[in-house]
Structures are given as C-alpha cells and as structure tokens.
C-alpha cells in the first residue's frame, strides 16, 4: 500500500476538515501554512458555516466538494473523527492526516475511539497518519505541502525527518532554520494508529529526494520487521539512518533467574535492533543534526585515517584525543606529503599530523596545507580547525575549503571555533556544503560516525545461517519437560539434551542418582571430572556449594557426592535433588557466556560477553535479536570491550572466534524456533585456541521453559 502513503505526501487535492478563520486555532494555522507554503495542488477547506477562508471557497461537508479529493487533513473534536472517516471513504479519499488529539494518549474512551478509526481505515484501505500529530511536510518544489500547524515551512533539503513527538518537531524546525538545515520530508506521526515508523522508513528509503533519514522514536511497532526494512535501506540503498530513542533508563530492567535475564534492560532490545539495522543511535537532537549535516553534505570516508589541519596546538590535540577515543586514526603522511608541507609552511609549523599552520596563518597557507594532505593516499578525510585570532583572515580561509573539497572525494569537516567572530566564515562554509562544529570534539565524533557507517556498508556475511538441526526432537523434549506446567527450569543434564539437538558442542557427562553408580561413570569419562548438583530448585549451583572440580577417583567422587547433596539441602531444605551430574573436565581456555532472554515485545534477545562468575559485575556484554545474520554474530564478538582478550594477550594465543560465532548462531536458531524458551544461559562456554581443532565446548548451561499460554 505504498501508493496510498504516497498520496499522503504528494496529493493533488486536500480537504482541510476543521479549517477556520479563528485566530490562534490549529485549523487556521494548517490552512495558512498550506497557502503560504504555496501548495501546488487544490485546497478544499471544509467548515459548516464559513463561506471562505483566506479567500478560498469553503464547503459545508466533505461530501459537498464537487471534485475528487486525495488527502483529508482532519482537525475536529475526537468523537467526530470516526464519522468523518466513513464520509471520506465514500468520497474516495485514500489518505488522511488526523491532527486531532484525545485518543490513545489519554486512555479510556480515547483509546476506544482510536481503535474504531483504525478499523474504519483498514476496512476502507485509507492510510492515515496520526492521530495526535503535528502533521506532514513535503518541500518538493512540485508539491510544497505544509499540512501541519508548525510555525515554519522548512527549507528544501535532502534530510527526511520522522518523529513520534509533535512538540519536539516544532523545536527541531526552529533549530534547523537557525542552522540553515533543509528537509525533503518532515513527518510527525503521533499515535501511529496506522502509518508507523516501518511504513515511513520504507517510503523514505524509496524517496529519491531523501539522502539521510533522521528519527525520534519512543517505541517500535515490530522489531524484526523494522530490522528488515532499515537494513535494506542501510546496506542495499546506502542511506544512513540516524535515530534518537527516548526512554533509556535501566529502571525497566526485570529481575530474572539467569545472568542474561538480570542483565537485559528496557533499552537492550533497542540497542540490538539499531545495531542489526545499521542505524546510528545518537544521544540527542544536537548530535542527530551534527551527524545529519555531514552525512547529507559530504562523501563517506573510505577508512579510519584522518588528517587534522589547525592554527592552534590545543584544539588540534583536543580533536586528536576525541578522534582516537572514537576509533579514528591519525594518518601517517607519506614522505612526499611531509616534504611538500615543509616547503609550504614556516619552520615553526608542525608538518606531521595534526598539521599546525601556526596562529598567523593566512588563507594561502591553509589552502596549501589542506590540499597537500587531501592528496595523500594515506588520508581518508580531514578536519579543519580555526581559532579566530587577530591575524586570521576568517572569511578568506572559509572560501578556500570548498575549493579544496571540490577536488577530492574525501570528506572534510570544519570547526571554526566560536560564534560571533567566525559567523561570516561559517555561513560561507555551510552554504557550500561544509558542516561546521563549534568545538573540535563534535567534528571528531561526527567523522567517526561517518567512518562507522562506511565500514558497515562493506560488511559481508549478511545471510542467515543454515544448520542441520533436530527441530522435531527438540520440540518433543520441550513438550515432555513442560508436561502441562506453566513453566519449568531444566537442570543441566536436561538442558544439554536440548542443546544437543542444535549441535552445540557438549562435554561427556553422566547423571548419578546413587553413589553405587559412581565407579562406572568415572570409567566412562577417562580422567578428572567435575561434579554438579542436579536440582530443578537450585539454579545457581555455586551459591549452594553444589560444584566440585578436578575429582580424580571414585573415592573422592563418593565423598563429593555426599557433600554436594548435603550442601544443597542446607541451601534449600525443600529442594528436589535428582542426584549429581558427573562431567568430564573441560581443558583450559577462555570463558565466555552466551545467553537469551525473551523480550515481551520483540521476542528472543541473545547476549554475548566474557563469562564466568563475574559476568554480572563486569557487565561487558552485547545483545542482538534472534534470528540473527552471520555478520551480527561476528559483530557481537568484536563489540565487547574485552575483545582483546579473545585476540590473545600477555602471550596467550588467540581464541577460536569461528567456533564462538557458530555457537552464537546455533543458540539464536534454537531460541527463535522455540518460543517456550524464556531464558537460557551457557556460562561458561570454554573457547580453545584458534587452529588447534578443538573449537569450544559448553561447560555449564541452564534453561527456563514456559508454556505457550504464558509466552
């Protein structure tokens, strides 16, 4: 139904139901904006008593309009909206913007009204934006539609902006006007009774006038559908998407039995969704437009190596520190570049990166230095810094930067520091597509964001994995374990049976319910064993003293058996103890954790990080939604702060990353296949050195099941 969405943004005729002459009213503001914005179609104001509004003939009702109407903008009391939508359907209207508030956001009768208009719109195939929204704007010169009650018509540009908050939109428009930022489309979609962020992303992804998409979101409609649309826009169409997501506090995190359940918070799912979609998440509106200006005006860097050209040492160091913190690298100039810089700069200048052209630099000196470093094959982009000193010709320096930029396909960002003295130069830069930042740290952060997006475009392995798995056996095991119960914790042995259906690497083990079985179990495992309490009522075995390691013979095993059972009963006198799990000892390796918790809205979220007993204290973990693509698993591994441990430190060999990746993907497939799995922890997964052929092995696991009725 993308065509119907298109009629919302590019209609040839609009009926404004609730248009009025009354000063200060929303109906007057929308009508005025459409006229002053020079809408290129036909306007039909609808009012039961007025003859004209702003000199445009009015009609008592929508049905009285003699001509076809494509879009209805509705600004009437909420209880009148359902009847008007029915009338619009009879008129052949295919799109509606409901600006009226008083629906789901107030609950009760408002929520019931919103459900009613949803049903009407669906039945008649009317696509609607809202209710409770500011409206929609299209700056295309062939349309010029400002169907909103905003104070300003934004200037044309190539940034598409969508927001759930109408009040935020008015502030954004004012900010953008002050920074001379233009938009292709500007959309407030309110309660999203019909058209939601997924529809709008799809529309803007296909819009040839939109180069960058900016979003303010309070929630998402469907995580996996959002990922599919956004990742197509990011990777296949190469359009950057920048998002501000409000509601990031950890207060929404729920307590849970598993490590994953206790670590996943209200914001973890959104982080995962954005990462898997290729979306750049930003901290606020200021940063959103810092990035948007650069993405919409400059080419992407082809690598991480940047050059900094400055007329002051301190700001150059600030920019360098910020760049390195963000993952950029200072380019190492070729000998040819340093020789050229030595010829064109005074002896007191620094000809190495960052290049300091000294405080008395003229625009000619800036031009020579910038042109030279941009020609260096080791440079992927540049940041130009200027402090307004008495000797500095600010406007002339600003004029040379676009000249150099036109001769290269590498990005250039600027920080002409200050506001008043540099204002004329900044205006020239920005009017020529060179984004300027008041302070150099912002320029460095923005260049790093461009670098990250450019690198994501080159990520391979975008396919979903395909494993030969025993889905039917897994489903049977789950059904047997639940046995009609609403939920069930699986002890390690039973959890291992389920993991085995999905090819997870497991240690040899035996469940011993009586000491008389110990001798045979020891013989089956050929070496020292670990012994762990097996009880559905004791989840964290270490806390109950229920783990013994390095048991070498049957006598030690019998003693350990008695101690483990006695300790478990002291820990929980009501515990049902099935026995003790005897398991071969895993060889030495790096301990990691793979887990899953099920988000009530988005489904299974897979977690990865360093494992062991300190996982909750360190909290060095990352999340992705299942099912995940191969590249997502690879990025999970590389995104933890302690990734260098997996690469090998202090003489230790690098870990088998391919084995970790396969285990993550197999867990992702497992939890996606079976919604009864509410929580899962593999902690630790022992990872062996790369190239030794051992891969990784599950040393401990726990799984919580819930019945379909409680999922």
Asked whether the predicted pLDDT for residue 485 surpasses 90, the reply is no
- Residue 1: the pLDDT is 46
Asked whether the predicted pLDDT for residue 291 surpasses 70, the reply is yes
What's the CATH superfamily of 508-585?
Answer: ATP-grasp fold, A domain (3.30.1490.20)
CATH architecture classification, 2-210: 3-Layer(aba) Sandwich (3.40)
- The structural domains of the chain, with segments of one domain joined by +, span 2-210, 299-457, 508-585, 590-710
Closest of 176, 186, 276 to residue 232, by C-alpha: 276
- Residue 173: the pLDDT is 93
pLDDT category of residue 545 using cuts at 50, 70 and 90: very high
Q: Do domains 2-210 and 299-457 have the same CATH topology?
A: yes
Q: What is the mean pLDDT of residues 2-27?
A: 92
Asked whether the predicted pLDDT for residue 3 surpasses 80, the reply is no
Report the predicted TM-score, pTM, of the whole model to 2 decimal places: 0.87
Asked whether the predicted pLDDT for residue 449 surpasses 50, the reply is yes
Asked whether the predicted pLDDT for residue 625 surpasses 60, the reply is yes
Asked whether the predicted pLDDT for residue 366 surpasses 90, the reply is yes
* Backbone phi, psi, residue 52, to 5°: -155, 155
Return the exposure string of 251-285: e unless at least 16 CB atoms fall within 10 Å of the residue's CB, then b.
Answer: eeeeeeebbbbbbbbebbbbbbbbbbbbbbbbeeb
pLDDT tens profile 301-348: 999 999 999 999 999 999 999 999 999 999 999 999 999 999 999 999
pLDDT category of residue 257 using cuts at 50, 70 and 90: very low
pLDDT tens profile 156-188: 999 999 998 888 899 999 999 988 899 999 999
542 CB-side CA count, 13 A? 8
Asked whether the predicted pLDDT for residue 250 surpasses 60, the reply is no
- Taking a C-beta distance cutoff of 8 angstroms, is the pair 358, 393 a contact? no
Return the exposure string of 416-455: e unless at least 16 CB atoms fall within 10 Å of the residue's CB, then b.
Answer: bbbeebbeebbebbbeeebbbbeebbbbbbbbbbbbbbbe
**Residue in the structure block whose two tokens are 């291992």:** 496
- Residue 692: the pLDDT is 82
Radius of gyration for the chain, computed over Cα atoms and rounded to the nearest angstrom:
31
Asked whether the predicted pLDDT for residue 462 surpasses 80, the reply is no
Distance between CA atoms of residues 512 and 520, nearest Å: 10
Does the domain at 590-710 match CATH 3.40.140.80? Answer given as no
- Residue 259: the pLDDT is 41
Q: What is the mean pLDDT of residues 225-252?
A: 83
Contacts of 39 (CB under 8 A, 6+ apart): 14, 143, 144, 145, 146
pLDDT tens profile 655-708: 999 999 999 999 999 999 999 999 999 999 999 999 888 899 999 898 999 986
CATH class of 299-457: alpha beta
pLDDT tens profile 565-615: 999 999 999 999 999 999 999 888 999 999 999 888 888 999 999 886 656
- Residue 373: the pLDDT is 98
Average model confidence (pLDDT) across the chain: 91
């Amino acid at each position: 139904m993308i065509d119907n969405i298109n009629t919302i943004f590019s209609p040839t005729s609009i009926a404004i139901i609730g248009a009025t002459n009354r000063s200060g009213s929303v109906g007057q503001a929308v009508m005025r904006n459409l006229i002053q914005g020079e809408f290129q179609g036909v306007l039909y104001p609808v009012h039961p008593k007025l003859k004209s509004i702003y000199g445009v003939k009015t009609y008592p009702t929508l049905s009285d309009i003699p001509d076809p109407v494509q879009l209805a903008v509705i600004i009437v009391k909420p209880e009148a909206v359902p009847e008007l939508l029915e009338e619009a359907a009879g008129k052949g209207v295919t799109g509606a913007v409901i600006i009226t508030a008083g629906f789901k956001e107030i609950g009760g009768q408002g929520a019931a009204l919103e459900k009613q208009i949803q049903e009407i719109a669906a039945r008649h195939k009317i696509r609607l934006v809202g209710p409770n929204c500011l409206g929609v704007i299209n700056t295309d010169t062939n349309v010029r539609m400002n169907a909103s009650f905003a104070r300003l018509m934004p200037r044309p540009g190539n940034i598409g902006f969508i927001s759930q908050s109408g009040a935020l939109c008015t502030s954004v428009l004012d900010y953008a006007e002050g920074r001379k930022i233009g938009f292709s489309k500007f959309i407030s979609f309110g309660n999203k009774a019909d058209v939601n962020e997924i529809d709008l992303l799809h529309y803007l992804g296909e819009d040839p006038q939109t180069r960058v998409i900016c979003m303010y979101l309070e929630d998402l409609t469907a995580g996996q559908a959002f990922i599919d649309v956004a990742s197509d826009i990011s990777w296949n169409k190469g359009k950057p998407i920048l998002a501000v997501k409000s509601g990031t506090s950890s207060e929404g995190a729920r307590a849970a039995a598993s490590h994953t359940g206790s670590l996943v918070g209200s914001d973890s799912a959104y982080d995962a969704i954005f990462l898997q979609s290729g979306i750049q998440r930003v901290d606020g509106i200021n940063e959103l437009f810092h990035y948007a200006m650069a993405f919409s005006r400059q080419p992407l860097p082809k690598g991480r190596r940047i050059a900094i050209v400055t007329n002051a040492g301190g700001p150059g160091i600030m920019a360098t520190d910020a760049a390195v913190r963000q993952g950029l690298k200072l380019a190492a100039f070729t000998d040819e570049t340093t020789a050229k810089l030595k010829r064109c700069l005074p002896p007191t200048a620094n000809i190495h990166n960052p290049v300091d052209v000294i405080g008395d630099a003229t625009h000619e000196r800036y031009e020579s230095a910038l042109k030279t470093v941009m020609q260096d094959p080791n440079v992927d982009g540049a940041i130009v810094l200027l402090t307004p000193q008495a000797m500095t010709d600010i406007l002339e320096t600003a004029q040379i930067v676009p000249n150099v930029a036109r001769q290269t396909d590498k990005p250039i960002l600027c920080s002409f520091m200050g506001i008043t003295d540099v204002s004329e130069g900044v205006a020239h830069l920005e009017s020529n597509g060179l984004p300027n930042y008041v302070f150099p740290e912002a320029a460095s952060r923005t260049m790093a964001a461009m670098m990250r997006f450019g690198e994501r475009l080159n990520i391979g392995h975008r396919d979903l994995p395909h494993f030969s798995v025993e889905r039917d056996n897994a489903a049977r095991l789950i059904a047997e374990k639940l046995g009609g119960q609403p939920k069930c914790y699986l002890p390690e042995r039973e959890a291992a049976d389920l993991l085995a259906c999905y090819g997870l690497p497991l240690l040899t083990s035996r469940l011993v319910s009586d000491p008389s079985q110990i001798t045979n179990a020891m013989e089956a495992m050929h070496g020292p064993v670990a012994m762990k309490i097996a009880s559905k009522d004791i989840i964290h075995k270490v806390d109950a003293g229920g783990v013994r390691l390095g048991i070498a013979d049957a006598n030690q095993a019998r003693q350990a058996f008695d101690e483990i059972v006695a300790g478990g009963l002291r820990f929980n006198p009501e515990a049902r103890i099935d026995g003790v799990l005897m398991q071969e000892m895993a060889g030495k390796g790096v301990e990691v954790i793979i887990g899953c918790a099920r988000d009530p809205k988005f489904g299974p979220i897979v977690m990865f990080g360093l494992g062991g007993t300190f996982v909750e204290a360190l909290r060095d973990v990352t999340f992705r939604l299942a099912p995940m693509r191969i590249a997502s698993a690879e990025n999970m591994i590389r995104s933890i702060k302690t990734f260098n441990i997996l690469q090998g430190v202090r003489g230790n060999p690098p870990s088998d990353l391919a084995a970790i990746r396969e285990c993550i993907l197999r867990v992702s497939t497992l939890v996606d296949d079976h919604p009864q799995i509410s929580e899962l922890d593999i902690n630790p997964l022992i990872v062996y050195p790369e190239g030794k052929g051992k891969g990784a092995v599950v040393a401990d696991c726990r799984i919580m099941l819930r019945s379909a009725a409680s999922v």
